[in-house]
Structure 1
Amino acid sequence: MDLLTTIVVILLILWLLGVVSSNTIGGLIYVLLIVAIVLILVRIIRGRQPV
């Protein structure tokens, strides 16, 4: 897994933990979700480039 995929997975896990738990830090969870979605879109737009 490359760095971008790792970051996306970590952000999605943190977001899911925030949704499940009742003690969230306000809008931070939603900011993390938006960042994860943006990173996924950037990856889709750029496509897989050969190493």
Structure 2
Amino acid sequence: MRHAVDSHATVDQAIGVLVAARRLPLAAGFEVLREVSQHTNNKLHTVAETVIA
């Protein structure tokens, strides 16, 4: 359960970074993360961690 909460927070933080840096709407920020996750075959939280770093 704790991992799920941490992963969700990481994804939310990455969306915030994308929204601020690229001036995207929230939904588009999530969509970018999701598409990268699917195309690179990486978990969503892994992509989010990369964005934050």
TM-score bucket of the superposed structures, by smaller chain: 0.3 to 0.5
TM-score of the two chains, using structure 1 as the length reference: 0.44
Structure with greater helix share of residues:
2
